[in-house]
Amino acid sequence: MAEEKLLFEYDKKEYSNNLLTSLYFKMLKSRLIEEKMLILLRQGKISKWFSGIGQEAISVGVTAALDKNEYILPMHRNLGVFTSRDIPLYRLFSQWQGKSNGFTNGRDRSFHFGTQEYNVVGMISHLGPQLGVACGIALGNLLKNNNKATAVFTGEGGTSEGDFHEALNVASVWSLPVIFCIENNGYGLSTPTREQYNCKDLADRGSGYGMESHIIDGNNVLEVYDKVSTLAESIRQKPRPVLLEFKTFRMRGHEEASGTKYVPEELMQHWSLKDPIDNYKEYLIENNILSIVDDLQKKSTIKVEIEEHWQLTNEEEKVQVDLNKELQDVYKTFDFRRVDPNHTTNELRLIDAISDGLKEGMRKYRDLVIMGQDVADYGGVFKITEGFLEEFGKDRVRNTPICESAIISTAYGLSVNNIKAVIEMQFADFVSSGFNPIVNLLAKSNYRWGQSADVVVRMPCGGGVGAGPFHSQTNEAWFTKTPGLKVVYPAFPADAKGLLLTSLEDPNPVLFFEHKALYRSVRQQVPDGYYTIPFGKAAKLKEGDQITIISYGAGVHWALDTLESNVEISADLIDLRTLQPLDIDTIFESVKKTGKVIILQEDSMFGGIASDISAMIMENCFEFLDAPVKRVSSLETPIPFETGLESQYLAKNRFEKELIELYRY
């Protein structure tokens, strides 16, 4: 032990004895809780455990170095973050048992939770997105000019993910006050570092992003605390990101079921001698900072606290199974506020109406941020944000690097920091690069821990412009399937403006689809000023009694053109306007009147929203039908570029034939 102890150079500097002992007791508390949890795991009283034994100095040191009103984004192995923030133990125990005093109402387990009360934002299992979330929180702090730092954790394995690189790049380009903490514990589950990356130190990656970086002994709590305290104070005054690599080791399995058989025994022995708690305790005792009696008394007190809080959790009832609550909590409550349109109007194209809506939103919400590629000086590839930079400034109209995933996560971080965000996907097709944070972070946030994701993602989409397979998709079905997202798809300028303003007011994540072929081809009188249109309320464009036509986006215009050429067909034409929520009442009412239904979508058939609407009609209106429900869609191929091929692909050219067949049925 004596030889190994030389590896730890504890430098107390001017720190008080109270501070020095508090760091020890914080680590000790984390360790004692873990030891209790490992016993309970073997007894089957908790379902899973990710151990941080051997890494306590990092969690405790970093958390102690930050102010309690500064956000921390921890990982599985950061129990010390939660306990150092003084979260009551019974609430943590309830979380791990899926009880109501936890933070997720039994909907998620272990450390997959956040709490605004304690300024902690929990992770999702995809690891990487939380780095972007930290960027968003830090951006919010920068915009508020509140001189706060943010710390976010990842493991050495997580640094292999693209989100890690995207987040570091964004943080560096925007000079965000965020501390990126890599806990390099030797293994990503069972994969050693030599198979994760091919460089000596992960800290070296900082220089590639023009970022300050440091290597810290992650088992030396004083070194952790001192370095992070100094850096945090520095970036509060001079905002910038810092990359820290903490060298440490994981003494237990990835999770307890994994075991540690893949770790060489000599490596385990080496790191067991470098235990952060044992070594630090000896230092404190040898330097008369801590007495053995005080240590034993405190240990006893902590154990009593653990037992008392565990008993509280045991006495707690299980989460009540409440179907209505489950369904209601998917979305943040949104009390729609109708703002009637002005009587004064101007003729606008769809693209102009969207731009006008964004301007109105930016004027109302003074901290609303627009982010996207080329949206600032250039005004976006479709020029929707042209002139915004001059009116709203570069802080609120932000060009982004080409990194859809990190920017969506950043927008979520802004929401955590109570700032609204609009993201422009340059093309809806590119959202696939940001798919994970949309469906796993934004969509599940309110359901998991009651945190709204106040984010609007604008999606220029659709064919008919000869843009080919990578710039022409209409991919709304990717998102209508995902609970927690709202999907808006207007066909007319006035609807687009009003629905966009509602999207900005709604605290839930909204995918706002804008059909590129309609941008400059559709004109309409659009009310001036600010007004809203409710979600989940379709527009009936034509009244008839023979057939119900259901569509949205460009399909609405195809249907209108077809009806003009077939005046003998008396049809209800329903423009859905929003796909989630869906106006089921208007659909069913019309179907019961006409007895025949045709659903037109630009998307390919299989898995599209027309299939679900058809199924709902069959289940609820079967006895009113006089013919099978007809679906018309584009081909089951990627969308081609050449004009003739694209024309053949689109549903537009098959709709009239299918409509007439249904009419004659």
Catalytic residue numbers read 471
CA 237 to chain centre: 29
Structure tokens at 438: 């949309």
> What order do you get walking across the sheet with 369-372 strand by strand?
397-399, 369-372, 421-424, 455-461, 510-515, 486-488, 578-580
Q: What are phi and psi of 547, to 5 degrees?
A: -145, 145
H-helix segments, 72-154: 79-84, 89-97, 129-144
Apex 74 CA angle, 95 and 284, nearest 5: 100
CA–CA dist 608, 613 (Å, integer): 9
**DSSP 3-state of 103:** coil
**DSSP 3-state of 182:** strand
The closest alpha carbon to 481, from 523, 452, 438, 525, belongs to 438
* Token pair 């995933």 in the structure block, residue: 405
Instruction: Give the Cβ contact number of residue 88 at 10 Å.
Output: 13
CA–CA dist 659, 627 (Å, integer): 12
Instruction: Give the Cβ contact number of residue 394 at 10 Å.
Output: 11
Structure tokens at 40: 């309970």
**Can you give the length of the chain in residues?**
665
Residue 34 to residues 81, 97, 504, 606, Cα–Cα distance (Å): 13, 15, 44, 49
